[in-house]
Amino acid sequence: MSETRKDDVQPLPIATGMKPTWELVIDDFKKRDSFGRRKYGTPLTPSNGRDSLEDAYDEALDLVAYLRNLIEERRLQKGAAYKFVNEYLHSPEMSGKNLAQSVLIDVREALKGAGL
């Protein structure tokens, strides 16, 4: 349930046993603070001589570029996966074969090849 959107239709989260995301974020904040202190020789503080708004804007532009890059990479990966599956399904080797049985055999072979 979202506190900001009333039309949220997402299911409730399930417990995974993994480290909570907020703890990961806090760890990242601590690492980032240590990095900044090493790089600049001082912690980030108000009135430090820099324009925090401009710095934040520059960082936001970088974030948007990284997000767009990930979207494009995902699009390319989905396209490549679709092409691979489509070519596989229409290959001469698959002609007249039971699809489910063939895929199961191929998955077993791939897992065996991966040592699983």
Q: Where are the alpha helices (DSSP H) in 14-94?
A: 21-40, 52-89
Q: What pLDDT does residue 1 have?
A: 45
pLDDT-derived band at 69 (thresholds 50, 70, 90) equals very high
> Domain limits of the chain?
53-113
Q: Which long-range contacts (CB under 8 A, 24 or more apart) does 66-72 make?
A: none
Q: What is the pLDDT of residue 2?
A: 54
28-45 pLDDT, tens per residue? 999 999 999 999 999 999
What are the structure tokens assigned to 8, written together? 């949220």
Q: Is the pTM of this model over 0.75?
A: no
